[in-house]
Amino acid sequence: MNKDNIERQCVSADPASCARGVHTDLPDNAGRTDLRELVIRRLTQDNLRLTISIPEAARLLGISKDLAYQLSNRSDFPSLQLGGRKVVSLIGLVDWTERQAVTGRKESD
């Protein structure tokens, strides 16, 4: 994703900060729905794929490929079989990551 194309909004309570260009991609209080909508909007705008490979998911999560393959066998992980290939739903991965952050579950559970 090209960071320059992300819609930016001023979330500072101080209008001078906005004028100085102090922005963020998402407000600190952005909920799961906001993040999900941002991902969907980016996928639509950039004609990106809805699914990614297990190694791509590993890179996004900052984990090893081996761990990503282990996770892909869990029933709550958003992987699916397309033909002979196992892929990960990008939107599902955002939702899964948010659920993990909220519940505090470890990826090895």
The structural domain count of the chain equals 1
Q: Which residue range forms the structural domain that includes residue 76?
A: 49-103
Which residue do the tokens 């952005």 mark? 30
Please check whether residue 94 lies inside any domain of the structure: yes
Q: Phi and psi dihedrals of 59, rounded to 5? A: -65, -45
Cα–Cα nearest to 55, from 78, 95, 84, 88 = 88
109 residues of the chain, pLDDT tens digit each: 444 433 444 443 444 444 444 444 444 444 556 777 887 777 777 767 889 999 999 999 999 999 999 999 999 999 999 999 999 998 899 889 989 988 875 555 5
Instruction: Please give the model's pTM, rounded to 2 decimal places.
Output: 0.59
Please check whether residue 37 lies inside any domain of the structure: no
Please check whether residue 81 lies inside any domain of the structure: yes
**CATH number (domain holding residue 99):** 1.10.10
Please check whether residue 69 lies inside any domain of the structure: yes
Kind and range of the H or E element at 71? helix 65-71
Which residue do the tokens 């892909």 mark? 72
